[in-house]
Amino acid sequence: MDYTLLNNGVKIPMLGLGTYRIGRTDDDVYNAIRTALDMGYRHIDTATLYENEAPIGKAIRESGIPREDIFVTTKLWGDDVLKNEIPQAFDQSMQLLDIGYVDLYLVHWPVKGKLVSTWREMEKIYASDKAKAIGLSNHLQHHLEEILDEANVLPAVNQVEMHPYVVLNDLVDFCEENAIVCEAWSPLGSSKVPLLEEKILREIGDKYGKSPAQVVLRWNIERGVVAIPKSSNKERQAANLDIFDFKLTPEDVQLINSLDKNYRTGIHPDEIGF
Ligand code: A2P
């Protein structure tokens, strides 16, 4: 596993497990997380929206792995921002997870007119030491600029949809210039697009004995982007972790970048209805 450092010195694994719809029941979720932790995952990404914090927390507690060895992220949902209930929302996540602290707390989506006031509340949560780092998700450059202008604590992370169909080089560069680590959600492009069937990815993978999915994940981490592929399947979880024994050439990277269509499978951050 490779790690990078957040702007406050906290260490984050470059690959984590996404958990949106990872299981239909709490038992499914629990089992998927236990399986992932047993095989070596040390970074789990959840959110209030996913309604799975309780079984994830239970799986972490019962894994036998020291708490400090697992990086856990959860996220603040926009409804709680609109209700002015940010501290209550955080406390609720903490109660459901029941793991003492979270490593990273993110604002899930930008809420219009409330970017800076939300960030102030996030800074208070950071000061409480119950979140070791705070950051953003689905924020574009203009959202980041508005927050950076007023921030006392710099956002550590911006997590957005990112894969070879939506490369977002400008956003990655802006984040790097501002010491914000980018994370990719749906790094494999989700099942809504045929990204993993691209011939280019198959041909690159064949050179290294790797699958298109492994090539895409490697491409993410080589550009400094933390990837959190979701899989509830043991074999695919293992495959997604097995990307630290090969390296792409600059030509491979150029070919992968050429797939860019600036196409999101999810909502555009300016169109979220908060
Ligand atoms: P599964 O859970 O059955 O493995 P998301 O876009 O939410 O991150 O979801 C990723 C999608 O890609 C899921 O449908 C997941 O299905 C699938 N997936 C995860 N890993 C792989 C892989 N290595 N190869 C192919 N599909 C994958």
For the segment 23-37, what is each residue's pLDDT rounded down to a tens digit?
Answer: 999 999 999 999 999
Picking from 177, 104, 102, 178, the residue whose alpha carbon sits closest to that of residue 147 is 178
For ligand 1, is residue 23 a contact (CB within 6 Å)?
A: no
Name the residue of 191, 214, 232 whose CB sits within 8 Å of the most ligand 1 atoms, as the mutation to test its pocket: 191
In the chain, % of residues over pLDDT 90: 98
Task: Dump pLDDT digits (tens) for 81-127.
Answer: 999 999 999 999 999 999 999 999 999 999 999 999 999 999 999 99
pLDDT of residue 160: 98
Q: Is the pLDDT of residue 190 over 90?
A: no
Please name every residue paired with 157 in a beta bridge, in sequence order, or none if there are none. 181
Mean pLDDT of the chain: 97
**Ligand 1 centroid to residue 109 C-alpha, Å:** 23
Query: What is the CATH superfamily name and number for domain 3-193+220-235?
Result: NADP-dependent oxidoreductase domain (3.20.20.100)
For residues 157 and 225, what is the distance between their CA atoms, to the nearest angstrom? 10
CA–CA gap between residue 134 and residue 219 (Å, rounded): 25
- CA–CA distance, 167 with 184 (Å, rounded to integer): 10
Condensed to tens digits (0 to 9), the pLDDT of residues 226-270 reads 999 999 999 999 999 999 999 999 999 999 999 999 999 999 999
Q: Which atom of ligand 1 is nearest to the CA of 240?
A: 23
Please list the residues that pair with 226 across neighbouring strands.
183
71, 42 contact by CB (below 8 A): yes
Annotation marks residue 50 as catalytic: yes
The protein residue with its alpha carbon nearest to ligand 1, atom 2, reads: 231
Residue 274 in this model has a pLDDT that exceeds 90 = no
What is the predicted pLDDT for the residue at 74?
98
Q: ∠ at Cα 217 (162, 68), nearest 5°?
A: 95
How far is ligand 1, taken at its centre, from the CA of residue 240, in Å?
9
Band (pLDDT 50/70/90 cuts) for residue 206 is: very high
pLDDT band at 191 (very low <50, low <70, confident <90, very high): confident
Side-chain half-sphere exposure of 8, counting CA atoms within 13 A:
17
Helix H or strand E segment including 159: strand 157-161
Q: Which atom of ligand 1 is nearest to the CA of 212?
A: 24
Give yes or no for a contact between 65 and 38, defined as CB atoms under 8 angstroms apart.
no
Q: Whose CA is nearest to atom 14 of ligand 1?
A: 191
Q: Is the CB of 213 under 6 A from ligand 1?
A: yes
User: Is pLDDT above 90 for 140?
Assistant: yes
Cα distance between residue 214 and residue 34, in whole Å: 22
pLDDT, position 273: 85
> Which one-letter amino acid corresponds to residue 147?
I
Instruction: Please state the domain extents for the chain.
Output: 3-193+220-235
Strands 11-13 and 3-5, sheet pairing: antiparallel
Q: What angle do CA 12, 256, 250 make, to 5 degrees?
A: 80
What amino acid occupies position 37? Answer: L
Contact 159, 183 (CB under 8 A): yes
CA-based nearest residue to 143, from 164, 174, 173: 174
Of the candidates 226, 235, 231, 194, the residue with the CA atom closest to the CA atom of residue 212? 194
The helix-helix angle for 250-257 and 212-222 (nearest 10°) equals 100
List, for residues 36-85, the tens digit of each pLDDT value. Answer: 999 999 999 999 999 999 999 999 999 999 999 999 999 999 999 999 99
Q: Ligand 1 mean position to 161 CA, how many Å? A: 14
- The residue annotated as part of the active site, out of 41, 50, 105, 126, is 50
